Amino acid sequence: MSTPPNKLSVKVEGNQLIFYNPNNEVEDNIGVTFHRTLRIPDDGKIYPLPPSLGSFPVKRVDDYLDRVPEAWKKQGGVFIPLYQREAMWLEFMNFNSEYPHALKIAVGKVNALSGETWDEQIKQRNVQDYVVTPLQPWLDGINAGDGYIKQFVAMPLGGGYTVEGQVTGEEKVGGTQIIAYAPHHDKRLKQFPSRTVTTLPSDSKPKQSGFGFFSKSKKDTAIQPPSQPPKPYSFAQPCSASSCLPPPPPSVLSSSCSTTTSSYVIPPPMVNSPMPQCESASSNYDMLDVCCATESSMPMPRSSSSSSSIHNQVKLESKKKRKSENSQAKELGLAAGGKMKQQIIEDPYGYSFWDESTKSRIFIHIVNSEMYKEITGEEVPPTPITAQTYSSYNYPWFDFYNEDVGSVGKSNILSQVKTVKEIDQEKYAWPQQNDSSVTINNVTTYKGTFNKNDVRDGDW
């Protein structure tokens, strides 16, 4: 079988994994970022989506072959550091919405959507076991319920906490695994009629290309939206002269909040951007009014906060966390935390749209702070603040939904997975973590749209 023209490869750019097509580097790329975040309380409530508090550093295994475990040399891939009981979420970002992708995500080689053991086939199943981008911008946990997930939380291997351990009865893999697929070339062209493609010279500055901009620098990947978002994917947020809802994600912010209607491409990149300027704004919605907030007092939507008070609190809580870091089990897996509302979007194209021969996969090892420093010589960034502290500053939480597409139903396998708190209660007579409830008054909502029958304007 000949190699398809859109066969994917994978590389690291800064702290982002990039699945890319070497024959069409800018257009057919999808970035995956691992975001540090709040661990939400496991109190029975269903919470909105927490913010990003920065991205995890991503290191290539091949750059540290003299210091990594022997098994890693065979597995390859990358590694990231997490603290025990620290949470994370994944961001998926297509660089051009006319080049969709399918991604399977596994935790310890257990599929995070279906709960089935790892395989690399895309086929009809009882529960869809892959996400479709750019329709699915984020994944925060395992598909444990109808319309909600249980948060990804890092725990040491060997303690019986991880999803892998509960589903398979063993904890010998750990980490997370991702495999990306491109569509069949001819089917994509039929879905998205051909147009003039702009690519970047290797020495050029980032220029607009389809979904966004792409920086060639290995130190920083900056992604910005096109001036007119390509259909059929968009964010819609109303604004009026007297009121301004929270802005779209940082990279799609305009310099003011004066427009009456706005449409934004999904998924939203989670990168820092200057705060928009707005003379005055008041909202009739139960959302945080960020237009008139100062950059020093308000974090951007689902992005790192620049608040000095937040950073000071991070340092204090990080010192506490380091004292309790488990150094015996240095490799970590992902366990289940509290519940949060998250739609897993159903594939609107159908499983036969995807070409298995284009696939590219990667193993992401997860290590604790001690092992990370032993391998790299670098300190791990401080652990995030608690959800309780974050909410005390009245910072925003987030919601995203799309009424134009179906949702994937819950996995009966993953719905039976016990949370970290539940296993703590079986093992110990006292709480091992703070799961006191959090009152949330500010929720920023994004609405995605999708219409396969939309007509796209092209080059004339």
DSSP string, 225-279: --SSPPTT-EEEEEB-SS-BPPPS-GGG--SBS--SEEEEPSSPP----PPPB-S
Residues 6 or more apart from 206 whose CB is under 8 A from it? 200, 213, 214, 215, 216, 222, 224
Check whether 208 has a pLDDT greater than 90. Answer: no
pLDDT higher than threshold 80 for residue 320: no
User: Beta-strand (E) ranges in 95-238?
Assistant: 101-107, 110-111, 131-133, 138-139, 141-145, 148-156, 176-183, 234-238
pTM: predicted TM-score of the whole model, two decimal places: 0.74
Residue-wise pLDDT for 159-170, tens only, equals 999 999 999 999
Give the DSSP H/E element, type plus range, for residue 68.
none
- Per-residue confidence band for 1, with pLDDT thresholds at 50, 70 and 90: low
Q: Tell me the pLDDT tens digit for each residue of 32-44.
A: 999 999 999 999 9
Task: Report pLDDT digits (tens) over 324-343.
Answer: 444 346 999 999 999 999 99
Structure-model confidence comparison of residues 168 and 283, the more confident one: 168
Please give the average per-residue pLDDT across 289-315, as a whole number. 39
Lowest-confidence segment of 224-228, 299-303, 356-360, 379-383 by average pLDDT: 224-228
Residue-level length of the chain: 460
Q: How open is the CA angle 131-422-81, to the nearest 5 degrees?
A: 55
The helix (run of H) or strand (run of E) holding residue 333 is strand 331-341
Confidence of residue 46 (pLDDT cuts 50, 70, 90): very high
Q: Please say if the pLDDT value at position 60 is more than 70.
A: yes
Sign of the dihedral through C-alpha 56, 62, 68, 69 = positive
User: For the residues 3-19, what does the mean pLDDT come to?
Assistant: 92
Sign of CA dihedral 339, 342, 348, 352: negative
Task: Give me the torsion for CA of 240, 246, 251, 253, rounded to 10°.
Answer: 20
Residue 106 has pLDDT above 90, yes or no: yes
381 confidence band (pLDDT: 50, 70, 90): confident
Predicted confidence band of residue 405 (pLDDT cuts 50, 70, 90): confident
**Least confident piece of the model among 175-184, 227-236, 299-308:** 227-236
Residue type, 17: L
pLDDT at 227: 30
- Give residue 262's pLDDT: 29
Neighbours of 208 (CB within 10 A): 14
When pLDDT is averaged across residues 115-122 and rounded to a whole number, the result is 95
Lowest mean pLDDT of 185-199, 265-279, 304-318, name the range: 265-279
CA dihedral 49, 396, 435, 162 (to 10 degrees): 30
pLDDT at 51 over 70: yes
What residues form DSSP beta bridges with 110? 107, 117
d(CA 76, CA 331): 15
Give the count of beta carbons closer than 10 Å to the beta carbon of residue 261: 9
Angle at 393 between CA 391 and CA 396, to 5 degrees: 60
pLDDT at 203: 35
Cα dist. 429→5, 161, 375, 423, 452 in Å?
58, 17, 36, 11, 54
Q: List the one residue out of 415, 433, 391 whose CA is nearest residue 86.
A: 433
